Amino acid sequence: MAYRGKNAVVTGGAGGIGLQVARQLLSNGAAVAIIDLQDNLEEFVKLRAAHPTQSVMIIKMDVANRKGIEATYEEIVKTFGSIDIVVNVAGIFNDKDVQRTLLVNLGGIMNSTLSALQYMNKENGGNGGLIVNMSSVVGLDPMFIIPVYGATKAGIINFTRCLGNDQFYQRSGIKFVTVCPGATMTDMFTNFTEKIIFPETSDETYKILDRLNKQSATDVARCILSVLDKEKNGAVYVIEGKRVFPLELKQQWTGKEHA
């Protein structure tokens, strides 16, 4: 994919993986709009200073706020003219706050994706493009210590695969991809054991976390750009050890009639 002249949106772009994705996109020539509830003024100043000839929009908005996200996309299109790429990264970890975790992790992905569709869809006069939604390896393989977080990540995979349908692509011109990073060093899991719903498993939890192979947010962001380059509709990728691994997810339900 040639990024120069393309307009990209990154949710959760104030820090962690989202910030590194925004940085990578800008380095490759794209204009970038960052949507995040958090402020990171120091990093935003650095981004603009490093890319003075490119447009960098910063919009403070909660991805769980559906109407707010719809208005945010309207604002982005008014400024950029069009949207070509969306990378949805925004997410939280707090299994004790079930409702908020559902609203941000799964609801936020849905809000951003469906709002972007309105402007990217060729049937509505858009250019088509590519939407990448970030899930996690715990959305593929259950991990008993984080069932709420894991459930939201599993939902993201199914939601994105449903949209990554070739018939829909023929109409809309939009491709959908899911990425599932393994353990990544970010601030999301600070005070981890205070946010799990089974505090009695704290000792076991630390043992599990210590055994995980960890990668940096920059490693994951670079892998996400390589996924963008592939442009494979409906694909699901694991990002582990600074590498990208495509998954072959087989159909389990055989009760559907043949077309």
- Amino acid at the residue 249: L
Alpha helix (H) ranges present in the chain?
16-27, 41-50, 66-80, 98-101, 108-120, 147-163, 166-172, 202-211, 217-230
The torsion of the CA quartet 182, 97, 151, 231, rounded to 10 degrees, works out to -50
Asked if the model's pLDDT at residue 256 lies above 90, the reply is: no
- pTM tops 0.95: no
Cα distance between residue 209 and residue 216, in whole Å: 15
Distance in Å from the first CA to the final CA of the chain: 33
Quick one: tokens of 18?
């989202």
- Which of 26-30, 139-143, 212-216, 244-248 is predicted with the least confidence, judged by mean pLDDT? 212-216
- Amino acid at the residue 23: R
- Name the residue among 142, 136, 34 with its Cα closest to residue 92: 136
Q: What is the mean pLDDT of residues 24-43?
A: 96
Residues 191-225 pLDDT 10s: 878 898 988 877 776 676 666 678 899 999 999 99
Q: Do β-strands 129-134 and 85-88 pair in parallel, antiparallel, or remain unpaired?
A: parallel
Catalytic residues: 149
What domains sit in the chain, N to C, each tagged with a CATH number?
7-246 (3.40.50.720)
Q: Do β-strands 174-181 and 236-240 pair in parallel, antiparallel, or remain unpaired?
A: parallel
Residues 49-103 pLDDT 10s: 999 999 999 999 999 999 999 999 999 999 999 999 999 999 999 999 999 999 9
Provide the percentage of residues in the chain whose pLDDT is more than 70. 95
Quick one: tokens of 39?
């402020």
